[in-house]
Amino acid sequence: MSMKDLNKTFQEIFKRDDMPRLFFAPGRINLIGEHTDYNGGYVFPAAISYGTYAAVAKRTDQSIRFYSMNFPSKGIIECKLNELSYDEAHGWANYPKGMIAYMNEQFPSISNGMDILYYGDIPNGAGLSSSASIEIVTGVLLDKLFSFQMDRIELVKLGQKVENEYIGVNCGIMDQFAVGMGRKNHALHLNAQTLEYTYAPVQLKQHSIIIIHTNKKRSLTSSKYNERRQECEKALTDLQTKLPIKNLCELTTDTFVENKYLINNKINAKRAEHVVYENERTKQALKKLQSNDIIEFGKLVNESHRSLKENYEVTGVELDTIVEAAWNHPGVLGARMTGAGFGGCAIAIVHHDEIESFKQNISEAYVSKIGYDPTFYIAKIGDGAKEITKEV
């Protein structure tokens, strides 16, 4: 989306002739470290070049008008600065409304209304954090528009609060953190509980990260997600009969092997095994990226998927079909599902020379087994949310 197009659409929709300020917040992928965040462990996300654009200008009254180019049939959604409570009829606009509401509590100096136009190029239902992208782009535009100079991590926490308390989704902080704190050509090794983080260089050389969207409607994610959390909690409770630990990711793999017998249920033991070994993989992945060893990093990515399939059982036939076809394709260093599972996306690290044949072969394997096409996106690892001051 060009700055010129955003400016023009903003002026047409809101019938204004002044120029808005433009902002962008990325989506994110998680390179490795899946289902570790709520078990006290590390995740390894990166901001990507797809995301949410926002064009904004202040008004002289108290009205806030929202418009999304992705939902044109919804038209302009309007509310007042003193009427920011959740409204089901406002649909997608509740995400920016929640952000404005919580920032207005913290900084009552939001004195003017605004016209805000949004455009997102993150594919729907892909699990690449479109909601966090909307929240954080709204937070950053408010911060700049009203000169709050807010600490970025505090802004990220507000984004999570919107998701948890305003929208009512029990998510961790990884999505908002990656969207707000991303850095070009770097991933974030993040402990989602302590917020301890390290930037790791992602030097892919002759390779690119390809995102493969299954295009499967994700219907079971929330119930299965809650089920996995409960299984991990039961495994932890069993281990705590002997070990003074607060979460599964405090365990080394050796300590886990020695004490696995304490877990009464075989399925719960498999879930815990995935979590402990996956957390160790994120630590190894940090070392491999810091030493620019993308071949070994790719092997860790493959191991992650095998564990998510066999021990955590969250992949499903769609993701497995894509990943296993990717493993068999030349020039692929690693592939795995990314996100909660049961649909959504996989990622693969593919040599530049193989990208076109990779797309063709994966499509053929997928259509043959699943019956419809996957969609491919080349992911560039970019910066976190920011104001756009020149055409990129």
Which residues are catalytically annotated? 175
Q: What distance in Å separates the CA atoms of residue 66 and residue 74, rounded to the nearest whole number?
A: 10
- With residues binned 3-state (H G I as helix, E B as strand, rest as coil), the percentages for the chain, rounded to 5, are 45, 20, 30
Per DSSP (E only), the strands in 100-257 are 114-120, 186-191, 197-201, 207-213
The amino acid that residue 106 corresponds to is Q
**Nearest to residue 10, comparing CAs of 119, 100, 88?**
119
Sheet containing strand 386-388, edge to edge, reads 77-80, 63-68, 114-120, 45-58, 21-30, 386-388
Q: What distance in Å separates the CA atoms of residue 320 and residue 214, rounded to the nearest whole number?
A: 10
Q: What distance in Å separates the CA atoms of residue 41 and residue 36, rounded to the nearest whole number?
A: 5
**Nearest to residue 285, comparing CAs of 48, 39, 30?**
30
DSSP type of residue 52: E
Burial group, residue 286, by CB count within 10 angstroms (0-12, 13-18, 19+): buried
> Residue 100: enclosing H or E segment and its boundaries?
helix 94-106
Q: What distance in Å separates the CA atoms of residue 17 and residue 257, rounded to the nearest whole number?
A: 67
Q: What end-to-end distance do the CA atoms of the chain give, in Å?
A: 10
Written as six digits, the tokens of 383 are 């910066």
Residue 230 and residue 368 in contact, taking contact as beta carbons nearer than 8 Å: no
Q: What distance in Å separates the CA atoms of residue 179 and residue 130, rounded to the nearest whole number?
A: 10
Neighbours of 104 (CB within 10 A): 17
